[in-house]
Amino acid sequence: MLRWFRDRRRHKALAQPFPPEWNAILEDLPTYRRLPPEDRNELRGHVQVLLDEKQFEGCGGIEITDEIRVTVAAHAAILLLHRKTDYYPQLASILIYPEAYGAPGERHVGEYLVEEGIEVREGESWYRGSMVLSWKDVRRGVADIDDGENVVFHEFAHQLDDESGTGDGTPLLSSRDEWRRWVGVCEREYEALVDADERGRKTLIDPYGAENPSEFFAVVTECFFERPRKLKARHRELYDVFSEYYRQDPGSWTAGE
């Protein structure tokens, strides 16, 4: 019964005309302009559903505008294109700060000591309920679409990862064969990134991905959508398993990088 009401509400949202002011916001987004026309059509529908279902809340004095809502929803929607999946079912609200914010955190000092303090963050995704984003960093990531950094892609990738129930860098996959390919490639690439980070080597993939497999999935998602040609050239098997999962080939989009 709950699914019936959910599907009925989504059908109603999709039946509404797409507001011209939302379309103007989309046309200003560089990533949206790179998409093929059929993907733009699909994305607009996803945006309508996401904005109908997700609550945006301003923090630190920021006022929520259509620009904020549509920009975030559009980049979240890119991760859903071509896939039979839900609309981030564990996510109810998106908290927006004007810029990077402080949050309690811990870091290991030596082998057995943990130091508590305040960390400055651009965003974070919680397992159930909420996500937090810095609007200043959202705008920076949206403006430079070739640097491999996009906090919206990163945090929504964590939401996809968490749908498996473990948040371990392996999202829900469609078959056992796909799972085997994913684990084989991603474990090898993750270990290579950890080794490169420990040796101080420069890498295409953000070294923050060496923190743990979950962060690896999130930063490779950023690289996959923002630097696809370089990822494909340097990490072909990794590009291929992400292409299979996301059902997309961003390396074929309008030239960038």
Segments forming the whole domain that contains residue 153: 13-252
Is 145 within the bounds of a domain?
yes
User: Has residue 6 been placed in a domain?
Assistant: no
pLDDT of 109 reads 45
Which is higher by pLDDT, 87 or 111?
Answer: 87
C-beta of residue 125 within 8 angstroms of C-beta of residue 12: no
How many domains does the structure of the chain reveal?
Answer: 1
For residue 178, being part of any structural domain is answered with yes
Establish if 65 belongs to a structural domain.
yes
77 located within any domain: yes
Distances in Å between the Cα of 142 and the Cα atoms of 36, 68, 123, 147, 152 are: 18, 12, 14, 10, 9
Predicted confidence (pLDDT) per residue in 141-177, tens digit: 999 999 999 999 999 999 999 998 888 999 999 999 9
Q: Residue 2 domain-assigned?
A: no
pLDDT digits (tens, 9 = 90+) for 41-50: 999 999 999 9
Provide long-range contacts, Cβ within 8 A and 24+ apart, for 102-107: 103/132
pTM of structure: 0.91
Task: Take residue 26 and report the two structure tokens written for it.
Answer: 């989309």
Cβ density class 169-188: b for 16+ within 10 Å, e for less: bbbebeeeeeeebbeebbee
Domain-embedded: residue 42: yes
> Looking at residue 63, which CATH number applies to its domain?
3.40.390.10
- Residue 51 included in any domain: yes
Residue 14 near residue 49 (C-beta atoms within 8 A) = yes
Ranked by mean pLDDT, the top range of 104-108, 121-125, 173-177, 250-254 is 173-177
